[in-house]
Structure 1
Amino acid sequence: MKKTFVLIFAAVTFSLAVKAQTFHVPENYVLKEKADYAKYEEDVIKGIDWLQDTPWALEEQKRMETNAFLLKWMQGNPAVNIEINSSVAKMTDKNPPLLITFMGGYTKYALQNKTGFNKDKANLAGVKAVIDKYVLETDHKNNSLLNKLVKIDKEGKLSNWIESDFYKTK
């Protein structure tokens, strides 16, 4: 049993190390014209995936550079408009890195579904990314809403929650 755990741990660690090496923050990027944003879409998706897969405690400098790149791209991109409502604020208030996680999930959905974009599904992708990251991070601060959403997601009812409760302001 102990041997199996060690092998699984080694495989996961190796997998994370390989993924960490596959993304490089673009250097000297320029984001002024609409076309500037389009040419970085692949880098944006890779950066989102890298943040999602890399634990908070690893590669702090690269995390800060990736966050800065993604935030600049998301804020200036005319094609992706993310709304942060009270539900998102409640999910991320105790764990601020989860805000970029939500924005990343939303953005990734938007980029991969340009022709069939659906705001509910984009918000669902953002919330799902937050749930997955919350579960992955062992040093997260407890959040009662996220604990509830983890259960709802396991029951396969997360899209119902998006439709019924996500947009309610409380």
Structure 2
Amino acid sequence: MKKTLTLITIIVAFCFTAKAQTFHVPENYTLKEKEDYGKYEDDVIKAVDWLQDTPWALEDQKRMETNAFLMKWMQGSPTVSIEINTSVAKMTEKNPQLLMTFMGGYTKYALQNKSAFNKTKANQAGVKAVIDKYVVETDHKNNSLLNKLTKIEKDGKLADWMASDFNKTK
């Protein structure tokens, strides 16, 4: 049993390392004009995926650089505008890393659905990303809302919760 667990651990670590090497934070990027942002959309999606797939405990320097790149892109993007409501604040208050996870999920949805963008679905993509990351991060701080949302999502009722409770302030 110990050999099997050790082998699984090695395989998982290898997979994270292999995937982590596929994304490189853009260097010397320029985000001044509207046209600049479109050039980096593929990099934004890759950065979001990398943050989602890479455990918090790994690659601190690359994580900081990736977060800085994404934040700069998101703040100036002429095509993606994210609103953080009370529900998102409550989901991320104990684990601030999850705020970038939400914004990343939202942004990825927006970029992949330009012609059929739906704000509710973008918010749901952000919430789903947060739930997924919360579940896999073993060192997260307990969050009662995310525990509830994990069960709701598992039961296939996240869209219902989004429609009824996401925009409510409590």
Same fold (TM over 0.5): yes
RMSD over aligned Cα atoms: 0.8
Aligned ranges 1:75-114 → 2 under 5 Å: 75-114=75-114
TM-aligned CA deviation for residue 138 of structure 1 = 0.6
TM-aligned CA deviation for residue 9 of structure 1 = 1.7
In structure 1, the residue matched to 2:158 is: 158
TM-aligned CA deviation for residue 4 of structure 1 = 2.8
3-state secondary structure, aligned to 1:74: helix
Aligned ranges 1:55-74 → 2 under 5 Å: 55-74=55-74
Q: 2:51, 2:169 → 1: CA distance?
A: 29
In structure 2, the residue matched to 1:52 is: 52
For each residue in 1:17-37, what CA deviation from the matched residue of structure 2 results, as whole angstroms up to 9, or x when unmatched?
001101111011000111100
TM-aligned CA deviation for residue 94 of structure 1 = 0.4
Task: Report the residue type matching 1:169 in the other structure.
Answer: T
> How many residues are paired up?
170
In structure 2, the residue matched to 1:18 is: 18
Residue identity over aligned pairs, in percent, reads 78
For each residue in 1:90-148, what CA deviation from the matched residue of structure 2 results, as whole angstroms up to 9, or x when unmatched?
00000000000000000000000000111111001000000011011111100000000
Q: 1:11, 1:128 → 2: CA distance?
A: 26
* Structure 1 unaligned regions, length at least 5: none
Q: 2:4, 2:42 → 1: CA distance?
A: 36
TM (norm. structure 2) is: 0.98
Residue 148 of structure 1 pairs with residue 148 of structure 2: yes
Task: Report the residue type matching 1:6 in the other structure.
Answer: T
Q: Where do 4+ consecutive residues of structure 1 move more than 6 Å?
A: none
Task: Report the residue type matching 1:46 in the other structure.
Answer: K
For each residue in 1:8-66, what CA deviation from the matched residue of structure 2 results, as whole angstroms up to 9, or x when unmatched?
22221111000110111101100011110000001000000110011111110110000
Task: Report the residue type matching 1:2 in the other structure.
Answer: K
For each residue in 1:135-167, what CA deviation from the matched residue of structure 2 results, as whole angstroms up to 9, or x when unmatched?
111111000000000000110000111111001
Q: 1:167, 1:28 → 2: CA distance?
A: 38
In structure 2, the residue matched to 1:130 is: 130
Q: 1:57, 1:86 → 2: CA distance?
A: 27
In structure 2, the residue matched to 1:34 is: 34
3-state secondary structure, aligned to 1:45: helix
TM-aligned CA deviation for residue 169 of structure 1 = 1.6
